[in-house]
Structure 1
Amino acid sequence: MPDAEPRARRSRLSEDRERELHSAVIDLLREAGYDALTMDAIAARTRSSKATLYRQWGGKPELVVAALRSCRPITAADIDTGTLRGDLHELVRLRCGTSVRDASLMRALGQALHKDPDLMRAFRTLVVEPENAALDTMLRRGADRGEITPGRPAARFVPHMVLGALAARPLLEGAEADPAYLAEYVDAVVLPALGL
């Protein structure tokens, strides 16, 4: 039910105007970081009133997370290649594209997520939980097709494995996780853990 209210608030803006606002928020985040980002700065950059921004999104955390979501036009819910292996390969390929493009942005937000409980709550509610639900659906489809055993214990850790691969390679190898690396990771780590 909490989701219905934000959707109703945002419905007053055209899709183009909403995209314009989201793009400005992302640009400001890259320029100043989350802590220095203010609703005043967003209002000035987008030629909006602060009242409009608050009415549409409720606050800075919700607006920032909405802008981040708009950077990901394809989500896990949009992926269905017909096989679990294909789905996971497509998922990491898409994550790789957004991860490499926005690595510095996400690193800066990582600090803010841990310091700002409202941002963490909004991020979990609007990004993490829907993506995890979509990933669960993907794994359930794989089980329904007989590709994996239902209730496989490793299934619960697939989000951790994918996120871990994206975060660990820069630290351990000094390189971003590119599509070839992630495809190899899925085949060598994730699929065997799922029994494939």
Structure 2
Amino acid sequence: MTATATARRSRITPEREAELYEAVLDLLREVGYDALTMDAVAARTRSSKATLYRQWGGKAELVVRALRHSKPGSIGDIDTGSLRGDLHALVTREDDCAMAQNSALMRALAMAVHNNADLLKAFKELLVEPEMDEFQRVMQRAVDRGEVQPDRPALDYIVHMLVGAFATRTLIDDQPPTQAFLRAYIDAVVLPALGVPAH
């Protein structure tokens, strides 16, 4: 984060920031991205619109930072000693209820991301790229341990596979993603693609 952004964001306590983010996510679930306004966030959180703009610059950054804040810890910090353990730990960071809510939230945002340049930019810079970097640390540890060959073609597509399983579970099976589904998917699809035994 730049020094300017840090200075801009430093006036709100972490507790107040968390409260604002939760309100933003609630509004997002209720009305969707396009209908969410800074006026509505200000009213819901009893904040001034000027404060919101000063702290976050606009709706896109506020929404994406709220999404980032709701994620449970850093992916890169997961280190169980095996890739299978790391991937299983990754999908058990959130319970099934939270996963269902997040899946619905991501479906609601999917169209908005592609129709809104500011949101797409914030989404990539503040959420996708940092998480890709963290995920690379997990995969690099697997390579360093000798579990995965560094030239394995599937290494370039692991995130695509995992996000695809999460995102399409409802579309294909009319069910939300669950820990059990994602663990089974990792064992049946992801680990074999990497040449790693599932058990």
- TM-score normalised over the length of structure 1: 0.93
Q: Which residue of 1 aligns with 2:49?
A: 50
Question: Could you tell me how far 1:95 is from its partner in structure 2?
Answer: 6.0
1:1-196 superposed matches below 5 A = 3-94=2-93, 97=96, 98-196=98-196
**How far apart, CA to CA, are the structure 2 residues paired with 1:161 and 1:27?**
28
Name stretches of at least 5 consecutive residues in structure 1 with no aligned partner: none
**How far apart, CA to CA, are the structure 1 residues paired with 2:32 and 2:130?**
25
Supply the AA of the counterpart residue of 1:184. Answer: A
The verdict on how the C-alpha distance between 1:173 and 1:75 changes in structure 2, with shifts beyond 3 A counting, is same
- Give the SS at the match of 2:33: coil
Question: Could you tell me how far 1:101 is from its partner in structure 2?
Answer: 2.3
Deviations 1:19-68 (A, max 9, x none): 11111111111221111111111112112111111111111000000111
**How far apart, CA to CA, are the structure 2 residues paired with 1:177 and 1:82?**
26
**How far apart, CA to CA, are the structure 2 residues paired with 1:3 and 1:190?**
36
Question: Could you tell me how far 1:104 is from its partner in structure 2?
Answer: 2.2
The verdict on how the C-alpha distance between 1:96 and 1:190 changes in structure 2, with shifts beyond 3 A counting, is farther
Bigger drift between 139-148 and 4-13 goes to: 4-13
User: Could you tell me whether the CA contact under 8 Å between 2:72 and 2:93 is conserved in 1?
Assistant: no
Bigger drift between 23-32 and 153-162 goes to: 23-32
Supply the AA of the counterpart residue of 1:51. Answer: A
Deviations 1:52-91 (A, max 9, x none): 1111111100000011111113231231111111111111
Bigger drift between 135-144 and 37-46 goes to: 37-46
**How far apart, CA to CA, are the structure 1 residues paired with 2:120 and 2:4?**
19
Superposition CA RMSD, Å: 1.6
